[in-house]
Chains A and B, each alone.
Chain A
Amino acid sequence: MLVVAKNVSKKFMGSYVLDKVNITINSGDRIAMMGPNGAGKTTLVRAILGFYHIDSGEISVKGFDPVKKRVEVLKHISFIPQLPPPVKLSLEELLVYVERSSGVSRKKIFEESARMDLDLKSHISKPFFKLSGGMKQKLLIAIALSKKSELLIFDEPTANLDPKGREKFYELLTEIDPACSTLFITHRLDEIEGLVNRKIYMDLGSVTEDEKI
């Protein structure tokens, strides 16, 4: 079991955003996570990544507590946030950060980018936040796919991509190592239907449906 969340609750300003969530992610799971805006999807993902101190319950990733053992946990996870962050580092510096902190090879990132028609070389000294929305997204995807992880978490990864970029992205996803689990947060199930084997619905801070397909 890769991720186990047991009765996880998290309050923001007095109201429960996660309300006794239970979820288990096994290796090989390809999950589409859906639910209305504000259901708590992003919050759950952030709790798994160790950003929040949960109020009650338990989360473990490969047996480690994501807050106390964040380095151990994050070694195994690739994450793409809902909105590309306005990172001020140049692409060169961002790549240095990723390379050194996570042991990803630069060559691999260049290859993955090239496959999505993102020419890194010509932008390498630009600050990341000056790239176009779609280019940012592509680079984040390239980095996430290059990092050898057992769990990929994508929070609406295709929002900014043009149709061709989207197609390329899904093509890349079909090549992900089958032992690697993925968690997609998405509002468009039709797009990734063929890529997932499990659907999870969240609403009002709890999991309302969890089925294999």
Chain B
Amino acid sequence: MKNLFLIAYLDVKESLRSKWFYVYALIFGGLMALFFVTGVSDSVVMGFTGLSRMLLIFIQVTIIILPIFILITTVKSISGDRESNVLEYMLSFPVSLKDYYWGKMLGRFSTVFLPVFLALLMGVVFGLFSGGEMPWKMVFLYSALLFSLSFVFLGLAFFLSTIVKSTDVALGSSFVVWIAMLAFIDIALMGLMLQNRLSDEVIITIAMLNPIEVFRIGAISLFDPELTVIGPVAYYLLDTLGAKLLMVYALVYPILVGALFAYFGYIAFRKKDLL
């Protein structure tokens, strides 16, 4: 266990020295900060009910950049080290594979989530100073949704990173996963529904299984409880599950999927040749 934290710590240190982290922190932290700031000032003006255009844009941007950023920066962590023989050297020290794998994952999760967390703090500080009523519940639920979204893609990235032998294949497959999930958010689903190609149950199931769509529905339902802006699938889900259950699902499901993939990755890491 002591080595798990050591490896997490060193992974964070390594990330903090790399350029991708600063690009990520700047883009994403900046967006998040804007998100909170707009959300807070909107709430002062109109009580945070009607979903402002700005918030909607932020949510959409998050949906697109967060997954791909996590995938491309993380998918290289194990496959890249393997390819460059860094893994060979680092694992020639008496460190268990359990500590190594989960330590890497913990470290990577910290770096990915750090900018989000800092932006959250910034939003809170801004809210306190601007004097408006801070919509605490929404801010925390939104952050929790981001946590879930980050986690599922981190789990996926670690899975791909361990089962694939080369970085190129790892990168390629993560693009495929990302595009496929983006393609099956509400808009595309609505198209399918209209064409009557698939039964409604199938479409709802696809929506419920897609972590990006789950995040999207969860996030938008926070601000627009009627979900009028995002289409029939989301509306149907809200109607059948109810707002509370929908939120619980949006928080728990991605974490479960992420954990499952991360675990499969771990099994592969132990059962296959390390180099």
Residues of A within 8 A of B (CB): 46, 49-53, 70-75, 77, 79, 81, 83, 85-90, 93, 96-98, 100-102, 127, 140
- Contact of A51 with B3 at beta-carbon distance under 8 Å, contacts A85-B84, A87-B86, A127-B17 already known: no
CB of A97 within 8 A of CB of B92, answer no
Alpha-carbon gap, A77 to B95, bound state (A): 13
Alpha-carbon gap, A53 to B86, bound state (A): 19
Alpha-carbon gap, A86 to B93, bound state (A): 16
Residue pairs across A and B with Cβ atoms less than 8 A apart, 23 shown, are A70-B94, A72-B94, A73-B94, A74-B92, A74-B93, A77-B92, A79-B92, A81-B85, A81-B88, A83-B85, A85-B84, A85-B85, A85-B86, A86-B84, A86-B85, A87-B90, A88-B14, A88-B18, A90-B17, A97-B6, A97-B90, A102-B93, A140-B89
CB of B13 within 8 A of CB of A52, answer no
Which among B6, B85, B90, B275 is the interface contact of A100 at CB below 8 angstroms? B6
For A127, list chain B residues within 8 Å (CB). Answer: 17
CB of B86 within 8 A of CB of A93, answer no
Q: Report the 8 A-B pairs with minimum CB-CB distance, sorted nearest first.
A: A74-B94, A79-B92, A85-B89, A85-B86, A51-B274, A75-B94, A71-B94, A101-B93
Alpha-carbon gap, A24 to B93, bound state (A): 22
Alpha-carbon gap, A98 to B91, bound state (A): 11
For A70, list chain B residues within 8 Å (CB). Answer: 91, 94, 96-97
* Chain A proximity mask over B60-104: 1 for CB below 8 Å, otherwise 0: 000000000000000000000000111011111111110000000
Alpha-carbon gap, A53 to B18, bound state (A): 34
CB of B6 within 8 A of CB of A49, answer no
Given A53-B272, A85-B84, A100-B2, 20 more pairs with CB closer than 8 A: A49-B92, A51-B91, A51-B273, A51-B275, A52-B275, A53-B271, A70-B91, A70-B96, A77-B92, A79-B92, A81-B88, A86-B86, A88-B14, A88-B86, A89-B13, A89-B14, A90-B13, A97-B93, A101-B93, A101-B95
For B27, list chain A residues within 8 Å (CB). Answer: none
Which among B86, B94, B273, B275 is the interface contact of A101 at CB below 8 angstroms? B94
For B85, list chain A residues within 8 Å (CB). Answer: 81, 83, 85-86
CB of A100 within 8 A of CB of B3, answer yes
State how many angstroms separate the Cβ of A42 from the closest Cβ of chain B.
Answer: 10
Alpha-carbon gap, A96 to B9, bound state (A): 10
State how many angstroms separate the Cβ of B108 from the closest Cβ of chain A.
Answer: 14
Alpha-carbon gap, A138 to B49, bound state (A): 64
CB of A81 within 8 A of CB of B89, answer yes
For B275, list chain A residues within 8 Å (CB). Answer: 46, 51-52
Looking at B91, B92, B272, which has the most chain A CB atoms within 10 Å of its CB?
B92
State how many angstroms separate the Cβ of A64 from the closest Cβ of chain B.
Answer: 11
Alpha-carbon gap, A145 to B88, bound state (A): 18
B10: Cβ under 8 A from any A Cβ? yes
Alpha-carbon gap, A87 to B89, bound state (A): 9
CB of A71 within 8 A of CB of B96, answer yes
State how many angstroms separate the Cβ of B177 from the closest Cβ of chain A.
Answer: 26
